[in-house]
Structure 1
Amino acid sequence: MSDVWPVVHAERRALIVFLESLDDDQWDVPSLCDGWSVHDVVAHLIDSAKATRLNFIAGMARAGFDFDRQNALGVTRERGATPRETLSGLRAVAGRTSTPPASPDTRLVEAIVHGEDIRRPLGTSGDYPLGAVERALRYQVRTPVSFGGGKQLVAGLTLKADDAEVSIGGGPSVTGPLLSLLLAASGRGTALGDLAGPGARELADRLGSDS
C-alpha cells in the first residue's frame, strides 16, 4: 500500500454514512477516548483532517506544547452546535490530504482507531483493509505514548495476528485479531478481551496503569 489517501478517504466516507444513521442521543454516548463523547471524536477528526505542518506547530505553541491540550482546543473549535452541523464539517474535509509534521501513516491511525472509538460503544465495528491496519499498527509500536502511540505499552512483547501473517516485536506473545492488536497498542483496553497468549496479562497490566 504505497499511498494512504485512497484508504483514508474511503474510511472517512464510510464513517460519514454510519454517522448519518445515528440519532442525537447516540452522538452523546461516551467514546473509547477518555472524556470524549462520539460527538467530540468527530470534532477531533475534523481538526485532524485540517492539520498542516504549519498550523500544527502554531497550534502546539498556543497549547504550550501540550499535545493533549492542543487536541482539546481542536475539539472545542470544530464541534458544532448540533451533530448535523459537526457532520457537515466532516463531509467538508473528507477529501483533504494535508498532514501534520509526521508520517502519512498517522492518517490511517486516525481513520481506523477513531473509527472504532466511535463504533464500538455503539455496538458495531468497521471493516478495514488488513494492509492498512497492519501499517497503522507498525506506526503505533514505534510511536511514544505521549504522542498517541503505544511504544512503551508493547515494548518487549510480540504482537501476533491470528487473522493475518503479521508478527511484530519480540518476547511473550499477545495473539488476536489484527484490529484488536492495533486498538490495544493505541491504549484501548476494550480490545483486551479479544487477545490471548503469555504476554496478554502484561499488556493488560500496562494498559491498566496507563488508563
Structure 2
Amino acid sequence: MRSEKANVWPVVHAERARLVDDLERVPVDAWTTPSLCPGWDVHDVVAHLIDSATTSRLGFVRRMIAARFDFDKDNESGIRRCRRADPTDTLAALRAVIDLTSTPPAAPATRLVEAFVHGEDIRRPLRIRADHPPAAVARALAYQASTSVRMGGGRERVDGLRLVASDTDVTLGSGVAVSGRAIDLLLAVSGRPVSATAVDGPGASLLRAGQNI
C-alpha cells in the first residue's frame, strides 16, 4: 500500500500544479461557468478540490457524522468552507495545498480519479486542453470500472462493455468494444458527458447512454 501511495502522490501533485497554472490565465468572470459536475460551477469544483486535499481520514469520519452520512451535504459544506468571495483567493488556496497528502479513507486510486475527473470538469467547459499521463489515467479508469456508481464509480455503466484505451495497452472488461483515449473513457465511466467523436466502436453509444445512470 505504501508503494502504491508513493506512485500516486507525485501524479496528483503534478495535476494540481498544472491546474493552478491553467487557471491563472482564466478571467475572474469565467469562474461562474457551469462545470461538467452537475450543479457545480468552476469555482465550486476548485473549492471542492481544496476541501478534499485538506481532509484527513479522521476529519472525514467526523464530518460524515456531522452530515449524518449524507455525502452530498458534506460536499456542499466543504465547498462553502473553502470557496472564497474572490476567485483569485480561492486559486491561491488551491496553490497552497498542491503538495499535501491528506486523504479521506479511500483507495489511493481515488486521488487519481479526483485529480483527472475534476480537472476536466473545470477545463473542458473553459476549453482548456490538457495532456494527462495515460498510464495513470488508465489506473484511475480501472478503479472506476470496478467500483459501483453508489460509491462514486461507474461499474454499472460499463456492464457488458469492453473498454479499449487507445493511448495505452489497457483493455478492461468483456463484451461490446468501445475505444477512446483513457481520459475520455474515464470521464464517460464517471458519468460525465463526452462528445460522439471521443469514443468509438459498437459499444460507444451504450457507454454514452450509461452516463445518465
- TM-score tier after normalising by the smaller chain length: over 0.9
**Taking every aligned residue pair, what percent have the same amino acid on both sides?**
54
Aligned residue pairs: how many? 209
1:6 pairs with one of 10, 14, 20: 10
Aligned runs of 1:106-185 on 2, under 5 Å? 106-185=110-189
Residue 146 of structure 1 and its aligned partner are, at CA, apart by 2.1
Moved more, 169-178 or 63-72: 63-72
Distance change (3 Å), C-alpha of 1:193 and 1:66: farther
Structure 2 residue ranges without an equivalent (≥5): none
Secondary structure of 1:4's counterpart equals: helix
Residue 126 of structure 1 and its aligned partner are, at CA, apart by 1.6
1:195 pairs with one of 196, 199, 205: 199
Residue 89 of structure 1 and its aligned partner are, at CA, apart by 1.1
* Cα distance in 1 between the residues matched to 2:76 and 2:97: 19
Residue 174 of structure 1 and its aligned partner are, at CA, apart by 1.1
Hey, what does 2:87 align to over in structure 1? 83
1:17 pairs with one of 13, 17, 21: 21
Secondary structure of 1:190's counterpart equals: coil
CA contact (8 A) 2:191 2:210 kept: no
CA contact (8 A) 1:184 1:192 kept: no
Deviation >4 Å, runs of 4+: none
RMSD, aligned CA: 1.4
Moved more, 154-163 or 38-47: 154-163
Q: Which letter maps to 2:206?
A: E
CA contact (8 A) 1:115 1:126 kept: no
Normalising by structure 2, report the TM-score.
0.93
Distance change (3 Å), C-alpha of 1:76 and 1:193: farther
Offset from partner CA, 1:7-31 (integer Å, 9 cap, x none): 1111111111111111111111111
Structure 1 residue ranges without an equivalent (≥5): none
